[in-house]
Amino acid sequence: MAVAWFMEYDIPKEEKANKEYMKYIFDEEYSCMVMDRCKKLGAKLNVWTDGLHHIVMTIEFKKLEDHAKLFGEAEWREGLWKLDRLVLNSRTRLMWPAGQ
Q: Which top CATH class is 3-95?
A: alpha beta
Long-range contacts of 85-90 (CB under 8 A, 24+ apart): 86/12, 86/17, 86/20, 86/21, 86/24, 87/9, 87/10, 87/11, 87/12, 87/21, 87/55, 88/9, 88/10, 88/11, 88/12, 89/8, 89/9, 89/10, 90/7, 90/8, 90/9
- For residue 12, what pLDDT is reported? 97
- pLDDT for 98 equals 92
> Domain boundaries in the chain?
3-95
Query: How do residues 64-88 score in pLDDT, each as one tens digit?
Result: 999 999 999 999 999 999 999 999 9
pLDDT per residue as tens digits for the range 24-80: 999 999 999 999 999 999 999 999 999 999 999 999 999 999 999 999 999 999 999
pTM for the full predicted model: 0.91
